[in-house]
């Protein structure tokens, strides 16, 4: 999305049309490098790096605050209508006719089941009766789950929550907030591309991230973001034709370190290393190779 | 393929029966080698034939699919042409799956792979028509319907289609490949257990290696007799034939090749109201005139003489060769079956194989926009097509390092041809970026090949010292590591090994559940 | 035509990202360009117009195009990303937005000093977990109109008196005749770690700011009674494991990242104009020539334009962009490790009865009682092979091939499909925001779909990819 914007000269002859959301969102700002733009900020937020974008959805329903990472109501505003008041801690199931959860399914046979795993019993979707119901379904991420209702800002949408008993359903009409700062009917605000203050207040975009952020760098082997946190660097073909290279966070970073990727914790940077000296120890990768 | 000793007879009879047009229930007529071979050897013979047939069908169907270019149309026609193209491409991929499964069966009985086939055009006693590369038409569709038809169907529609396919004229039974596989299945019962190599599984092609989510491509493995039978039955059933004769067209499963071709046939315009397919040549070729025995008017008509087009066609032949050689090389490398076995370059070579499939598809797209003949006028709408010509040899070198030398040679030759084409074809829409990215991919592949040759040849010890310099690391970090290594862990430092925290987040759900139920704090 | 009034103002870009670094020199501007001769290669970082701001006066003194992009300065300190935020204005109801300049202000009888700014930045990482509002760390510049550097001093009710965390600074850039635009610059912090004031010296923290007598962050643990629901994932703060990993005890650390809001306000002829935008600060992009396959920009595009794509909007360039980003992502991943291949990278096949290499999605799946198996066939996941695969797909889409691989993309409803075929969809081996397998945004999926060949009847079958698997214990098993 980040186009190569030219520098804006003194008197702008071409501008941005006020209703053109794409142009505003893709605009990078004069003098701003590409990595200051959301097009280089990851969004598979678990929890995320530059931000935990999941937080923007918490107050998407007027009167409620949802968990950023689960489809559960964590707070009901005091001035919310009565029918919303008993939604606290309830799980949202459907929005405007579409489910906001997925079923988990897959082969169940567990290798070496320990005391924590139930005995193998067929498909994951058919778990034994004493398994918590939450294990076989999971809340969908908000972004994709709600994509079809964002355009209905200001309107009431039918939402279905799970009641106190598994078979019980609670149906309510919830109003979708305007995502951007443009309340329906306000002509001046039409076309603004800034996330509404009602959805994001200072600190909220980053509140569920790791503390400190360095903590994320070692844990997150599988859920990461190669542009910001590379894994496999200096990769080249080995004598058997398969790759060899280095682990980005290995301790031995000398030029003649063997091209051997290791997961042996004793050979990798530790949390303490990162807390103290991340700026010195972590190398930029240009072209997949150690640079500065 | 050598069919001179192939005979079709009833069990117990050894003489061939020529001109046999009627059919008993499939299986009553059996192919066999005259004189009979030992069971394993005869199975090899028939599987070789099967492999050639699958390969030829695949190429023929690809050529037909590539003659369909949806973007020439709009609206409903574009959609229907796109659907036909997709369907035929799927069928071609399924033939590829059969080809791979046949290779697996050969492996199981310890026999070499075969990716060879007869040059187009050719006829066989297994099919009622000549194999040839031609654009999709009513006639060719009729042929494919008839080719994929099980024996015994005889309703009026089918008779009409057979007439269109001119199947009756050739005087051969409809489709005998089902019988071929059935006979292979029978032969497997006679092959001893010791001759069935379970350890061949590491060499066999695996569906999971192919990837890309094709749901109906059957690449089946066989480690024993029962699995072999199941594999044979599966590929026979998918398209070439069924084991019991159906009563009518509509009895055939909708996902069979027959049914899918029949559907396209029914939809295809019969009266020439519009022309769905680009008129690619019949038998496009780069042959020198008179060089082959089956030179014909069609061969001359299909000969690509336009200078620029020739280069592109040569490139496509080259990529076809690379496809076959990479695939062959991959299947000669054992793949790890147990957790903990080291991977080989098999994965890489398979990736390169798929890359060549994409390349051929792209090249087909270019060739149908290029002039066929040198000096051709603009008003002459003749275009070229993929010749799918086989290289002089498909033999794979014995030693691994020599195979990599071959890969190197193939890549280098292709790169120089690509460079030549880039100069001439600067103006062709999309050609530039395609050729550049092909060159880039080849360069990266060549680097791997050279590196492998380098590191495995006797002088590699000397060379590896030089390669360190070439790594491109710009700064020494020795100064920093001293500080990083010198620190001592703080008291109560969290464990540094991965193993200790390995299931942390994996169990958060579970832990959250436990906490919720116990409400207990730690001591 | 001189400006007569301002109908509306906005701050653009509406969301900017600062990146930590302790150098005094902000990172230069550059473009990450796909090389023409190398369409499958790494983007080249090419200098772009970069403003030099005088520390003394706060004005832009020059604009240059650097020859070489350096991410560190001479002292090897990382150069932070300090983005500018600009005021744009609409001078009439039907006009376009254009950057506001001091010349416009003059025409409206205003001066730069009539523009008021306020920046509120906060780090709520602790209060999010403890639920204690006083654990929130907030910096508020209050309204200002001058061009001095305004530090963002993050204060908290539970800090030691007079202590704060420096979140960086903001500056209202002084417009001048050469660079008259009205803009503000955010400079993020340096990436330091702060901690609790306890007796022993902790080499990890640069300063002790948190008072454990006032607040409960030190020794806090996710799951503690009467605290908000844990984050997901949980236990992602610096801490120590006890009770066999069951509880993770916080060491009371904080960092100097923040996110916040910039507000601007001024009055034109009695008409008050306000606008705001957001910013956040994160770590540097350590592979700046690689772009992630799914980004916040993709999210915002989906929000702005909706998840559906009409055939008229089919755009091969968008598909090329997605595939290129997939290549750029996978290029830096050790795919054999991420796949769950065993006996590699210095780990044995098994440790303690479990497969040893399981800190990956395959391992995470066991928390749903799914059997541990590598995701893809282990023989094809070496990094070179996977990279080559993506390069070839990119090649094909660059040369105009319709996106035949659509069935291979994970639909957003399929993120819980942990069968073999489900896990092998794309993006592979990566986690999504719901802890399950990453799916592209619906809009990204539909962009690919818009260029894909027409579906045949077969492809409409079973979206969960059940095959007609027959025969062979090593055949296609679901």
| Residues C135 and C267 reside in one and the same domain | yes
Q: Which residues of A touch B487 (CB under 8 A)?
A: 272-273, 276
With an 8 Å Cβ cutoff, are C288 and A286 in contact? yes
* The predicted structure's pLDDT at residue B10: 65
Between A138 and C24, the higher pLDDT residue: C24
Among A32, A142, A248, beta carbon nearest to C16: A32
As for how many domains chain C has, the answer is 2
Q: Any CB–CB contact under 8 A between C230 and chain B?
A: yes
pLDDT tens profile B13-56: 444 444 333 334 444 578 888 898 999 999 999 999 999 999 99
Q: Any CB–CB contact under 8 A between A187 and chain B?
A: no
Burial classification of residue C116, based on how many CB atoms lie within 10 Å of its CB (0-12 exposed, 13-18 middle, 19 or more buried): middle
- Integer Cα distance of A49 and A59 in angstroms: 22
Min distance A129 CA to chain C CA atoms (Å): 14
pLDDT tens profile B420-447: 999 998 778 889 999 999 999 999 999 9
Taking alpha carbons only, the member of B409, B390, B385, B376 closest to residue B310 is: B385
Residues, chain B, total?
Answer: 523
Using N-to-C axis directions, what is the helix angle for B431-456 and B460-469, rounded to 10°? 130
Contacts for C144 with CB less than 8 Å, ≥ 6 apart:
C116, C117, C118, C150, C172
With an 8 Å Cβ cutoff, are A32 and C13 in contact? yes
* The predicted structure's pLDDT at residue A110: 53
**What's the whole-model pTM score?**
0.89
With an 8 Å Cβ cutoff, are C408 and B213 in contact? yes
Q: Which residue of B has its CA nearest to A138?
A: B509
Q: Which residue of A has its CA nearest to B501?
A: A219
Q: Which residue of C has its CA nearest to B520?
A: C225
- Integer Cα distance of C262 and C270 in angstroms: 23
With an 8 Å Cβ cutoff, are A2 and C297 in contact? yes
Return the minimum-mean-pLDDT range out of A68-72, B95-99, B510-514, C19-23. Answer: B510-514
| Residues C273 and C333 reside in one and the same domain | no
* The predicted structure's pLDDT at residue A221: 56
Once rounded to an integer, what is the mean pLDDT over residues A255-261? 85
- Integer Cα distance of C283 and A228 in angstroms: 8
| Residues C273 and C399 reside in one and the same domain | no
- Chains adjacent to A (≥3 CB pairs closer than 8 angstroms): B, C
Taking alpha carbons only, the member of C45, C34, C44, C46 closest to residue C394 is: C34
| Residues C409 and C443 reside in one and the same domain | yes
Contacts for C74 with CB less than 8 Å, ≥ 6 apart:
none
Among B227, B255, B348, beta carbon nearest to C382: B348
- Confirm whether the ipTM is greater than 0.90: yes
How far is CA C202 from each of CA B490, C113, C163, C198, rounded to the nearest angstrom? 7, 45, 17, 9
pLDDT tens profile A80-99: 999 999 999 999 999 999 99
* The predicted structure's pLDDT at residue B513: 41
Q: Any CB–CB contact under 8 A between C341 and chain B?
A: yes
Is the pLDDT reported for residue C168 higher than 50?
yes
Q: Are C251 and A215 in contact (CB under 8 A)?
A: no
pLDDT in tens, chain B (523 residues): 778 888 887 655 444 444 333 334 444 578 888 898 999 999 999 999 999 999 999 999 999 999 999 989 998 999 999 999 999 999 998 899 999 999 999 999 999 999 998 887 777 777 767 888 999 999 999 989 888 887 777 888 988 888 888 754 444 556 677 788 889 999 999 999 999 988 899 899 988 887 655 566 788 999 999 999 999 988 877 765 455 566 677 777 778 888 899 999 999 999 889 999 999 999 899 988 767 666 677 788 999 999 999 999 999 999 999 999 999 999 999 887 776 777 789 999 999 999 999 999 999 999 999 999 999 999 999 999 999 999 999 999 999 999 999 999 999 999 999 999 999 987 788 899 999 999 999 999 999 999 999 888 776 544 444 444 333 222 222 223 333 333 323 333 333 333 333 344 444 444 444 444 443 444 3
Q: Which residue of A has its CA nearest to B493?
A: A272
Among C78, C278, C345, beta carbon nearest to A263: C345
Probe site for chain A from C332, C418, C463 (most A CB atoms < 10 A): C332
| Residues C345 and C381 reside in one and the same domain | yes
Helix (H, G, I), strand (E, B) or coil at B472: coil
Among B345, B404, B494, beta carbon nearest to A242: B345
Q: Which residue of A has its CA nearest to B503?
A: A219
Residues, chain A, total?
Answer: 292
* The predicted structure's pLDDT at residue C464: 30
Q: Which residues of C touch A188 (CB under 8 A)?
A: 7-8
Any idea what the Cα angle at residue C464 is, between residues C461 and C470, rounded to 5°? 75
Helix (H, G, I), strand (E, B) or coil at A208: coil
| Residues C455 and C314 reside in one and the same domain | yes
| Residues C272 and C330 reside in one and the same domain | no
Among B452, B484, B497, beta carbon nearest to A281: B484
With an 8 Å Cβ cutoff, are B496 and A252 in contact? no
With an 8 Å Cβ cutoff, are A212 and C253 in contact? yes
Residue C247, in any domain of the structure: no
> With helix as H, strand as E and coil as C, how does B132-195 read?
CCCCCCHHHHHHHHHHCCCCCCCCHHHHHHHHHCCHHHHCCCCCCHHHHHHHHHHHHHHCCHHH
pLDDT tens profile A36-65: 999 999 999 999 899 999 999 999 999 999
Residue C217, in any domain of the structure: no
pLDDT above 90 covers what percent of chain C? 78
**CATH number of this structure's domain B299-459:** 1.20.1260.10
Burial classification of residue B186, based on how many CB atoms lie within 10 Å of its CB (0-12 exposed, 13-18 middle, 19 or more buried): middle
Once rounded to an integer, what is the mean pLDDT over residues A214-239? 81
* The predicted structure's pLDDT at residue C327: 96
Q: Any CB–CB contact under 8 A between B273 and chain A?
A: no
- Integer Cα distance of C156 and C182 in angstroms: 32
Question: Is the Cα torsion angle A156, A157, A158, A159 positive or negative in sign?
Answer: negative
Q: Any CB–CB contact under 8 A between B460 and chain A?
A: yes
Residue A222 pLDDT level (bands cut at 50, 70, 90) = low
Q: Which residues of B touch C408 (CB under 8 A)?
A: 211-213
Min distance C398 CA to chain B CA atoms (Å): 7
Q: What is the mean pLDDT of chain C?
A: 91
With an 8 Å Cβ cutoff, are A180 and C303 in contact? yes
Q: Which residue of B has its CA nearest to C337?
A: B340
Strands C271-282 and C15-19: parallel
* The predicted structure's pLDDT at residue A200: 97
Using N-to-C axis directions, what is the helix angle for B431-456 and B400-424, rounded to 10°? 160
| Residues C274 and C379 reside in one and the same domain | no
Min distance B94 CA to chain A CA atoms (Å): 26
Q: Which residue of A has its CA nearest to C369?
A: A108
Once rounded to an integer, what is the mean pLDDT over residues C358-373? 86
Q: Are B60 and B49 in contact (CB under 8 A)?
A: no
Q: Any CB–CB contact under 8 A between C237 and chain B?
A: no
- The kind and range of the H/E element at C396 are helix C383-398
Among B344, B496, B500, beta carbon nearest to A242: B344
Residues, chain C, total?
Answer: 478
Contacts for C352 with CB less than 8 Å, ≥ 6 apart:
B499
Q: Any CB–CB contact under 8 A between A133 and chain C?
A: no
Q: Which residues of A touch B404 (CB under 8 A)?
A: 241
Among B220, B498, B506, beta carbon nearest to C470: B220
With an 8 Å Cβ cutoff, are C371 and A106 in contact? yes
| Residues C268 and C369 reside in one and the same domain | no
Q: Are B248 and B267 in contact (CB under 8 A)?
A: no
Min distance B329 CA to chain A CA atoms (Å): 13
Compute φ and ψ for B394, nearest 5 degrees.
Answer: -115, 15
With an 8 Å Cβ cutoff, are B208 and C366 in contact? no
Q: Which residues of B touch C366 (CB under 8 A)?
A: 503, 506
Q: Which residues of C touch A280 (CB under 8 A)?
A: 76
With an 8 Å Cβ cutoff, are A219 and B505 in contact? yes
Residue C470, in any domain of the structure: no
With an 8 Å Cβ cutoff, are C292 and A225 in contact? yes
C-proximal residues of B, 245-274, CB under 8 Å: 254-255
Probe site for chain B from C249, C399, C445, C460 (most B CB atoms < 10 A): C399
Cβ contacts below 8 Å, chain A against chain C, sum to 538
Q: Are A25 and A193 in contact (CB under 8 A)?
A: yes
* The predicted structure's pLDDT at residue B484: 32
Cβ contacts below 8 Å, chain B against chain C, sum to 282
Probe site for chain A from C244, C334, C417 (most A CB atoms < 10 A): C334
The segment(s) of chain B belonging to CATH 1.20.1260.10 are 1-273, 299-459
* The predicted structure's pLDDT at residue B478: 29
Contacts for B455 with CB less than 8 Å, ≥ 6 apart:
A238, A239, B463, B464
Could you tell me the fold of the domain covering A52-105+126-207?
Pdz3 Domain (2.30.42)
* The predicted structure's pLDDT at residue C367: 82
pLDDT tens profile B93-139: 889 999 999 999 999 999 999 999 888 777 777 776 788 899 999 99
Q: Domain ranges in chain A?
A: 52-105+126-207, 215-290
- The kind and range of the H/E element at C254 are strand C254-255
Q: Which residues of B touch C436 (CB under 8 A)?
A: none
- Chains adjacent to C (≥3 CB pairs closer than 8 angstroms): A, B
Among A110, A206, A271, beta carbon nearest to C257: A206
* The predicted structure's pLDDT at residue C157: 97
Is the pLDDT reported for residue C459 higher than 50?
no
Domain that holds residue C343: 296-460
Residue C354 pLDDT level (bands cut at 50, 70, 90) = confident
Could you tell me the fold of the domain covering B1-273?
Ferritin (1.20.1260)
How far is CA C469 from each of CA A143, B181, B201, B345, C474, rounded to the nearest angstrom? 35, 19, 17, 27, 10
pLDDT tens profile B161-174: 888 887 544 445 56
């Amino acid at each position: 999305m980040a186009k190569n914007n030219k520098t804006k000269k003194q008197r702008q002859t071409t501008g941005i049309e006020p209703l053109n959301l794409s142009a505003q969102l893709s605009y990078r700002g004069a003098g701003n490098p590409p990595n200051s733009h959301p097009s280089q900020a990851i969004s598979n937020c678990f929890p995320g790096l530059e931000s935990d974008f999941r937080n923007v959805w918490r107050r998407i329903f007027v009167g409620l605050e949802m968990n950023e990472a689960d489809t559960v109501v964590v707070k009901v505003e005091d001035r919310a209508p009565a029918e919303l008041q008993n939604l606290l801690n309830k799980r949202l199931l459907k929005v405007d006719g579409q489910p906001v959860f997925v079923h988990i399914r897959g082969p169940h046979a567990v290798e070496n089941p320990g005391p924590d795993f139930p005995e193998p019993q067929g498909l994951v979707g058919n778990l034994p009766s004493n398994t918590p119901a939450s294990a076989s379904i999971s809340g969908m991420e908000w972004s994709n789950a709600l994509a079809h209702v964002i355009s209905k800002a200001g309107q009431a949408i039918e939402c279905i929550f799970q009641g106190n008993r598994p078979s019980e359903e609670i149906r309510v009409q919830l109003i979708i907030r305007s995502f951007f700062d443009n309340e329906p009917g306000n002509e001046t605000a039409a076309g603004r591309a800034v996330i509404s203050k009602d959805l994001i207040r200072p600190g909220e975009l980053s509140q569920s991230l790791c503390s400190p952020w360095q903590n994320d760098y070692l844990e997150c082997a599988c859920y990461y973001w190669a542009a910001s946190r590379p894994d496999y660097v200096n990769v080249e073909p080995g004598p058997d034709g398969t790759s060899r290279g280095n682990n980005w966070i290995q301790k031995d970073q000398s030029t003649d370190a063997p091209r051997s990727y290791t997961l042996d914790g004793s050979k990798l940077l530790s949390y303490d290393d990162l807390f103290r000296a991340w700026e010195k120890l972590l190398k930029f990768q240009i072209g997949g190779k150690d640079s500065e | 393929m050598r069919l001179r000793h192939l005979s079709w007879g009833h069990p117990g009879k050894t003489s061939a029966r020529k001109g046999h047009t009627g059919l008993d229930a499939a299986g009553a007529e059996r192919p066999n080698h005259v004189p009979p071979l030992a069971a394993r050897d005869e199975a090899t013979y028939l599987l070789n034939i099967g492999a050639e047939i699958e390969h030829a069908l695949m190429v023929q169907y690809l050529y037909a699919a590539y003659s369909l270019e949806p973007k020439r149309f709009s609206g409903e026609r574009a959609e229907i042409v796109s659907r036909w193209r997709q369907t035929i491409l799927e069928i071609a991929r399924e033939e590829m799956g059969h080809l791979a499964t046949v290779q697996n069966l050969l492996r199981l009985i310890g026999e070499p792979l075969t990716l060879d086939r007869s040059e187009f055009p050719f006829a066989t006693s297994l099919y009622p028509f000549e194999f040839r590369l031609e654009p999709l038409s009513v006639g060719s569709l009729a042929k494919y319907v008839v080719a994929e038809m099980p024996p015994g169907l005889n309703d009026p529609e089918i008779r009409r289609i057979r007439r269109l396919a001119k199947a009756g004229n050739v005087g051969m039974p409809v489709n005998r490949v089902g019988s071929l596989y059935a006979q292979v299945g029978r032969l497997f019962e006679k092959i001893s257990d010791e001759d069935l190599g379970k350890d061949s599984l590491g060499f066999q092609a695996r569906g999971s290696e192919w990837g890309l989510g094709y749901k109906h491509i059957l690449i089946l493995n066989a480690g024993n007799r029962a699995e072999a039978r199941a594999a044979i039955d599966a590929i026979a059933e998918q398209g070439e034939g069924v084991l019991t004769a159906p009563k009518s067209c509509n009895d055939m499963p909708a996902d069979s090749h027959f049914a899918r071709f029949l559907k396209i046939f029914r939809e295809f315009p019969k009266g020439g109201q519009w022309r769905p397919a680009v008129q690619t040549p019949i038998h496009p070729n780069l042959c020198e005139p008179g060089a082959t025995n089956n030179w014909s008017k069609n061969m001359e008509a299909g000969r690509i003489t336009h200078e620029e087009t020739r280069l592109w066609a040569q490139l496509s032949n080259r990529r076809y060769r690379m496809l076959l050689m990479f695939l062959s090389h991959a299947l000669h490398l054992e793949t790890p079956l147990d957790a903990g076995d080291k991977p080989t370059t098999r994965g890489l070579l398979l990736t390169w194989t798929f890359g060549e499939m994409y390349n051929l598809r792209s090249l087909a797209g270019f060739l149908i926009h290029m002039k066929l003949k040198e000096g051709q006028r603009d008003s002459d709408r003749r275009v070229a097509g993929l010749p799918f010509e086989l290289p002089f040899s498909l033999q794979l070198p014995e030693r691994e390092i020599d195979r990599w030398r071959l890969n190197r040679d193939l890549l280098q030759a292709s790169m120089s041809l690509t460079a030549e084409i880039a100069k001439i074809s600067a103006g062709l829409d999309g050609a530039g970026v395609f050729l550049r990215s092909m060159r880039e991919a080849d360069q990266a592949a060549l680097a791997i090949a050279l590196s492998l040759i380098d590191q495995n040849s006797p002088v590699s010890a000397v060379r590896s010292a030089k390669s360190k310099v070439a790594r491109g690391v710009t700064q020494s970090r020795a100064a920093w590591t001293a500080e990083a290594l010198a620190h001592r862990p703080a008291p109560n430092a969290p464990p540094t090994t991965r193993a200790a925290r390995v299931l942390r987040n994996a169990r958060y759900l579970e832990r959250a559940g436990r906490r919720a139920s116990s409400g207990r704090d730690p001591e | 035509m001189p400006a007569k009034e301002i109908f509306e103002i906005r701050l653009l870009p509406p969301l900017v990202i600062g990146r930590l670094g302790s150098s005094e020199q902000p990172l230069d501007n550059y473009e990450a360009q796909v090389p023409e001769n190398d369409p499958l290669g790494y983007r080249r970082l090419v200098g772009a117009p970069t403003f030099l701001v005088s520390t003394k006066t706060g004005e832009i003194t020059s604009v240059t195009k650097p020859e070489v992009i350096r991410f560190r300065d001479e002292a090897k300190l990382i150069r932070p990303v300090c983005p500018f935020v600009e005021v744009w204005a609409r001078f009439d109801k039907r006009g376009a937005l254009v950057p506001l300049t001091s010349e416009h202000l003059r025409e409206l009888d205003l001066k730069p000093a009539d523009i008021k700014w306020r920046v509120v930045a906060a780090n709520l990482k602790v209060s999010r977990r403890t639920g204690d509002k006083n654990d929130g760390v907030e910096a508020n510049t209050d309204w200002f109109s001058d061009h001095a550097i305004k530090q963002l001093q993050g204060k908290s009710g539970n800090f030691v008196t007079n202590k704060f965390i420096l979140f960086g600074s903001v500056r209202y850039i002084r417009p001048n005749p050469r660079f008259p635009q009205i803009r503000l610059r955010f400079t993020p912090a340096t990436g330091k770690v702060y901690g609790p004031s306890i007796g022993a010296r902790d080499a990890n923290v640069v300063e002790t700011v948190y008072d454990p007598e006032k607040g409960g962050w030190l020794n806090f643990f996710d799951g503690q009674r009467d605290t908000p629901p844990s984050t997901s994932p949980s236990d992602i703060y610096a801490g120590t494991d006890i009770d066999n990993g069951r509880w993770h005890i916080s060491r009371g650390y904080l960092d100097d990242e923040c996110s916040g809001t910039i507000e601007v306000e001024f009055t034109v002829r009695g008409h008050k104009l306000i606008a705001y935008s957001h910013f956040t600060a994160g770590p540097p992009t350590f592979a700046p020539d690689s772009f992630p396959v799914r980004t916040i920009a993709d999210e915002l595009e989906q929000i702005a334009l909706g998840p559906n794509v009409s055939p008229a909007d089919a755009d091969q360039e968008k598909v090329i962009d997605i595939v290129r980003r997939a290549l750029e992502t996978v290029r830096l991943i050790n795919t054999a490790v991420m796949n769950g291949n065993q006996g590699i990278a210095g780990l044995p096949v098994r440790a303690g009865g479990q497969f040893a290499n399981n800190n990956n999605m395959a391992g995470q799946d066991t928390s749903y009682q799914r059997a541990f198996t590598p995701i893809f066939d282990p023989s094809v996941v070496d990094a070179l092979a996977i990279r080559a695969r993506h390069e070839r797909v990119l090649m094909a889409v660059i040369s105009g091939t319709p996106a035949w691989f659509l069935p291979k993309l994970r639909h957003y409803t399929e993120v819980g499909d942990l069968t073999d075929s489900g896990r092998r969809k794309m993006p592979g081996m990566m986690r999504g925001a719901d802890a399950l397998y990453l799916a592209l945004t619906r809009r990204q999926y539909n962009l690919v779909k818009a260029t894909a060949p027409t579906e045949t009847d077969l492809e409409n079958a079973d979206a969960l990819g059940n095959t007609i698997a027959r025969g062979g214990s090593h055949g296609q098993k679901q």
